[in-house]
Amino acid sequence: MAVDTLTFALVTVVYLLLVIGLGYLGYRRTRGSDDYMVAGRRIHPVVLALSYGATFISTSAIIGFGGAAAQLGMGLMWLTVLCIGVGVLIAFVVFGKRTRRIGQRVGAVTFPDLIGKCYGSPFLQTFTGILIVVGMPLYTAAILIGGAQFITSTLQIPYDTALLAFAAVVALYVVVGGLIAVMYTDALQGAIMLVGMTILLLLTYTLLGGVINAHMALDALSSQVPSALAAAGMTGWASMPELGSPIWYTLITTLVLGVGIGVLAQPQLVVRFMTVKDSRALNRAVLVGGPFILMMTGVAFTVGPLTNVYFYQTAGVTAVEAATNGNIDTIIPNYINAAMPDLFVVVFMLALLAAAMSTLSSLFHTMGTSLGYDIWQHTRREKPSMRTIQLGTIAMIVVSVLLAYVMPGSIIARATAMFMGLGAAAFLPAYVQALFSERPSLRGAKYSLITGAVVWFVWTAFVHVKESAVLGLSQFLFGVESLLPMPWPVVDPLVIALPLSTAALAVGWLIDRSLATAPEGASTP
């Protein structure tokens, strides 16, 4: 279904003018590196909440996870529970307050800078920055793919054109305006997302005959589960998969735990806690952030499965069968274009663009500051200028765009879970110790960071079959796609790497403690 060109053009022009205006306002208020990196530590709590939520929720949640929910069912609603309980309540109230206080005390302006200064370790700052620069482009490229795919399917324009234009617009205000521009535009984009997702939920239930009829129809479709999914443990779109089945492991360990726990150690989110002036602002932000996350994830994980009802009633096929070339990332765009009124297609595309732009801008900013600030100052042994940080941002944007060209389909949700899992495995134990220990163990932090990263990468390359089969290293070196038998090939790297990373921290802490209490002159290992 083609979108009315004039309506779309007018709405888009108004939106872009607002974004450019907010970006310019951020530019005018950016007078130094502190403004560019942490928004001058004076952001309003409502802006913080919307920026945090809009950064957290992107095309990965709406298109990627919406498509995954259409394929795997409403079991993904457990991720909504973790997103609110962990990603908002624990993140803001427990982690956020300490992060703001400690970050302000040590003068930290990035997540790697916070880790490095808490431990007094340039190595930790640099290594953390390197992991971000290496791992985050995968997540960023997935967001680019999601936004470009919807623009392409809606406007029928070439994918390359959509991808490049999309990246260029976001790059403009990120590079020029820094975090102030990012957070101001995030707040606008978050408000648009909230309106769009609310309307989508209402229209979907109206289209399917109401809440009760829609969910009864979804439950009745359990007999239509494709044989491949049924063999892997799926029981229906309104129920959980069989406990211990391959789909259950994918749903719980990769999608639910990978994102639900990984959110606590996401550099682009942690830095937002350092942008407010006091802890009361964080308390007020929870009142906005909680309902926002509920609507964003809850709607995506509800509408996704319900698309099966629509496609079955109108075309006699399930949502996966209706996906373009079997790519589940196309399910939500196809549903919107097929089922929704013309005007809403425009509104939803605007909400989708807002979602993608809000996350992209934060990822661009985080990667750029990691390269241009954290890595630069310790490799070149000089304090980087704002121009250096901006050039670092441009470089990472180029890398992300190039990566978006080579990544396969059906990757958005998986790429998101991958980076969040890496973040939790590598960063979370050291981050927790930095916040809650009066004398954090540097040895433990180093052991933990290295162990988490190495185990995560090894498990991803040689065991977790979704990635190891694509990478081909295990097949090339050992002649098999995964080195271990079931169920290990479907157990997410996070489940293995995070406990080992935590254990490595404990070992390092015990060694430091034994060295500190050893009698003077005694030999130590």
From the list 411, 410, 319, 338, the residue with the least C-alpha distance to 73 is 319
Which DSSP category does 481 fall into?
S
Helix, strand, coil percentages, rounded to 5, for the chain: 85, 0, 15
Give burial (CB, 10 Å; 0-12/13-18/19+) of 473: middle
Sign of CA dihedral 470, 473, 479, 485: negative
Assess contact for 281 and 438: CB atoms under 8 A.
no
**What is residue 5's predicted lDDT score, i.e. its pLDDT?**
62
d(CA 29, CA 384): 20
Sign of CA dihedral 452, 114, 400, 356: positive
**What is residue 523's predicted lDDT score, i.e. its pLDDT?**
46
User: How far, CA to CA in Å, does 47 sit from each of 28, 288, 357?
Assistant: 18, 9, 16
**What is residue 459's predicted lDDT score, i.e. its pLDDT?**
95
Q: In the structure encoding, which two tokens stand for residue 267, read together?
A: 């550099």
d(CA 229, CA 221): 13
* Residue 137: cis peptide before it, omega within 30 degrees of 0: no
Upper half-sphere CA count for residue 449 (Cβ side, 13 Å):
28
The type of residue at 368 is G
**What is residue 114's predicted lDDT score, i.e. its pLDDT?**
94
Q: DSSP letter string over 291-343?
A: HHHHHHHHHHHHHHHHHHHHHHHHHSS-HHHHSGGG-GGGHHHHHHHHHS-HH
The residues, any chain, with a CB within 8 Å of residue 152's CB and separated by 6 or more, are: 158, 159, 162
What's domain 5-418's architecture? Up-down Bundle (1.20)
Assess contact for 370 and 32: CB atoms under 8 A.
no
The domain ranges of the chain are 5-418, 441-517
**What is residue 2's predicted lDDT score, i.e. its pLDDT?**
47
Residue with tokens 């732009």: 357
Upper half-sphere CA count for residue 124 (Cβ side, 13 Å):
26
Per residue of the chain (525 residues), what is the pLDDT tens digit? 445 666 777 887 888 888 888 888 887 887 777 777 777 778 888 888 888 888 877 766 777 788 889 999 999 899 889 988 888 889 888 999 999 999 999 989 899 999 999 999 999 999 999 999 998 998 888 888 877 876 776 677 788 888 888 888 888 888 877 888 888 888 888 888 888 889 999 999 999 999 999 999 999 999 898 888 899 999 999 999 999 899 999 899 888 888 888 888 889 889 988 888 888 888 888 888 888 888 888 999 999 999 999 999 999 999 988 888 888 878 988 898 888 888 888 888 788 778 878 888 888 889 988 998 889 877 776 777 778 888 888 899 899 999 888 876 556 667 777 888 899 999 999 999 999 998 899 999 999 999 999 999 999 999 999 888 888 888 889 999 999 998 899 999 999 999 999 999 999 999 998 887 766 555 444
Give burial (CB, 10 Å; 0-12/13-18/19+) of 12: middle
Enter the pTM of the model.
Answer: 0.85
